[in-house]
């Protein structure tokens, strides 16, 4: 859950864009893997300017706070300009409060006898380095087509960030076409990378039934030499191979099955609307997914090292996952009426799993001590989530990955991986929406955002 990625988002393998306060649009893309994850966003989501607009109008939040390193504590506000019913322009401004306070404290300037502290503060407020500005334009071309343009300017660089995104809704598919200059990516260790130009085309099937098949097709093009944007984790400064210049085609076909182990038949409270309609049914359920993924790469972003002169590669694999969900309470009463637990085990590569299992079986057959490498290979990726209502629409949530490191920590190999702590405020009148304030201590990030129809 390297983004604030809720455990059940996208089934785990189709990494959605990661929420981050480091950019004005509050998004960063995960570095694509081989052959998984795809590393592309799917479908549409509420843009950052529209989130700010909603909170300013209906939640009495004139300024929204965020924090990241090294920018510090910042405040955001948006100004909306509705030119027509189908065309909106947003001007998003960010003020670096922490930098302003530090500037005032470190300044040796003292106000003259006849001047005021207000004038002194005014001189500091005129510093351009305190501000970041973003211009966003959204066009509703048709009921099924949305076109978004964004241009952001920051104090720490002379290069603005530009983005263009086209979303089209087919009856049973979502199509996303995106071009960014430069593109911002985050790798597994938490390092951020700037790619001079990145373009992606993504087609995903939509399924709602408990037993369904799905597929996901994508193409990703990058050009220019990637540069490290920030290295907060200080773990690895090697450029991820998939960000090097080149073109990659990916395809995923999967089958998913959901099973209800138990579902409460106790009637709900009459004339009392749940705080979230998607969290109003106590149940215990499980789901499983199995699929195949393939990647064809052309250029320097090869899936694996090739012989001299060869600039293409192909890689395919089988993956699977198992999920478990348990919920108690209807989320209707005032106190402690929702306790929800989710867990997922992911097996992103069957070839690695079979290789490790074979090596482990040979060691046991030969009465030898199992190798640490074989045990590490068969360990799945795990994520867990726990949510607890405190009072009314307010609940606490903790999401975390679980890593098993048998090589470096043999005595206590199980560790929490990038836990995210959140306070959620359910917007009851909207059926299923919430304001989320979350923080990730490892990434040293905090922000407030708006989410719809997510569990």
For residue range 90-102, what is the model confidence (pLDDT) as tens digits?
999 999 999 999 8
Q: What pLDDT does residue 37 have?
A: 53
Tokens of 104: 């005032």
Q: Is the dihedral of CA 120, 126, 131, 135 positive or negative?
A: positive
SS3 356: helix
Single out the residue of 131, 133, 187 nearest to residue 25, CA to CA.
Answer: 133
Tell me the HSE value of 187 on the side-chain side, using a 13 A CA sphere: 24
Q: What is the mean pLDDT of the chain?
A: 86
Quote the pTM value: 0.88
Q: What pLDDT does residue 112 have?
A: 52
The per-residue pLDDT string of the chain (455 residues; one tens digit each, 9 = 90 and over) reads 334 333 334 444 555 678 899 999 998 888 887 555 554 444 456 889 999 999 999 999 999 999 998 889 999 999 999 888 899 999 999 999 999 998 888 876 555 554 577 777 788 888 888 999 999 999 999 999 999 999 999 877 778 999 999 999 999 889 999 999 999 998 888 889 999 999 999 998 887 777 889 888 999 999 999 998 865 555 667 888 889 999 999 998 989 999 999 999 999 999 999 999 999 999 999 999 999 989 899 988 776 545 445 677 888 999 999 999 999 999 999 999 999 999 999 888 888 889 889 998 998 888 888 888 888 888 888 999 999 999 999 999 999 989 888 877 777 888 888 899 999 999 999 998 999 999 999 889 999 999 887 76
Helix axes 117-125, 97-106, angle to 10 degrees: 120
Single out the residue of 302, 299, 298, 344 nearest to residue 324, CA to CA.
Answer: 344
Residue ranges covered by each domain of the chain: 14-105+126-229+241-452
What is the C-alpha to C-alpha distance for residues 1 and 135, in angstroms, rounded to an integer?
Answer: 29
Residue-wise pLDDT tens digits, 131-140? 999 999 999 9
Chain-centroid distance of CA 345 in Å reads 19
Q: What pLDDT does residue 128 have?
A: 87
Phi, psi angles (nearest 5°) of residue 57: -80, -40
| Peptide bond before residue 182 is cis, with ω within 30 degrees of 0 | yes
Tokens of 210: 């408990």
What is the C-alpha to C-alpha distance for residues 424 and 331, in angstroms, rounded to an integer?
Answer: 13
Q: What pLDDT does residue 36 have?
A: 53
The topology under which CATH files domain 14-105+126-229+241-452 is Porin (2.40.160)
Cα separations in angstroms, 225 against 97, 183, 425: 33, 12, 42
Q: What pLDDT does residue 318 have?
A: 92
Q: What pLDDT does residue 307 have?
A: 47
Rg (CA), the chain: 24
């Amino acid at each position: 859950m390297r983004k604030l990625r809720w455990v059940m988002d996208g089934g785990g393998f189709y990494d959605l864009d990661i929420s981050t306060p480091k950019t004005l649009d509050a998004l960063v893309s995960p570095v694509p893997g081989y052959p998984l994850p795809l590393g592309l966003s799917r479908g549409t989501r509420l843009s950052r300017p529209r989130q700010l607009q909603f909170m300013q109008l209906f939640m009495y939040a004139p300024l929204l706070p965020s924090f990241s390193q090294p920018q510090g504590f910042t405040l955001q506000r948006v100004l909306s300009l509705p030119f027509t019913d189908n065309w909106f322009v947003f001007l998003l401004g960010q003020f670096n409060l922490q930098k302003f306070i530090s500037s005032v404290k470190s300044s040796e300037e003292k106000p003259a006898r006849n001047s005021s502290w207000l004038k002194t503060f005014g001189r500091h407020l005129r510093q351009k380095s305190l501000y970041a500005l973003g211009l966003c334009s959204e066009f509703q071309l048709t009921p099924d087509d949305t076109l978004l343009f964004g241009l952001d300017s920051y104090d720490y660089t002379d290069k603005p960030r530009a983005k263009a995104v086209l979303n089209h809704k087919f009856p049973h598919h979502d199509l996303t076409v995106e071009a960014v200059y430069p593109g911002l990516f985050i790798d597994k260790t938490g390092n951020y990378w700037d790619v001079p130009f990145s373009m992606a085309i993504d087609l995903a099937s939509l399924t709602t039934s408990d037993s369904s098949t799905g597929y996901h097709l994508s193409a990703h093009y990058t050009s220019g030499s990637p540069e490290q944007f920030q290295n907060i984790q200080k773990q690895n400064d090697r450029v991820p191979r998939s960000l090097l210049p080149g073109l990659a085609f990916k395809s995923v076909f999967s089958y998913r099955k959901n099973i209800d182990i138990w579902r409460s038949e106790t009637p709900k409270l009459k004339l009392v609307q749940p705080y979230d309609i998607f969290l109003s049914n106590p149940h215990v359920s499980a789901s499983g997914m199995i699929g195949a993924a393939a990647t064809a790469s052309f250029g320097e972003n090869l899936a694996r090292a090739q012989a001299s002169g060869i600039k293409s590669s192909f890689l395919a694999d089988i993956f699977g996952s198992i999920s478990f969900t348990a919920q108690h309470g209807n989320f209707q009463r005032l106190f402690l009426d929702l306790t929800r637990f989710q867990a997922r085990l992911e097996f992103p590569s069957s070839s690695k799993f079979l290789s490790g299992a074979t090596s482990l079986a040979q060691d046991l057959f030969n009465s030898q001590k199992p190798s640490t490498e074989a045990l590490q290979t068969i360990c799945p990726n795990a994520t867990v989530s726990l949510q607890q209502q405190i009072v009314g629409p307010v609940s606490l949530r903790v999401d975390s990955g679980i890593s098993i490191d048998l090589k470096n920590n043999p005595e206590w190999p199980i560790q929490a991986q990038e836990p995210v702590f959140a306070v959620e405020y359910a917007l009851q009148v909207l059926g299923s929406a919430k304001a989320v304030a979350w923080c990730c201590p490892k990434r040293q990030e905090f922000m407030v955002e708006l989410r719809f129809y997510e569990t």
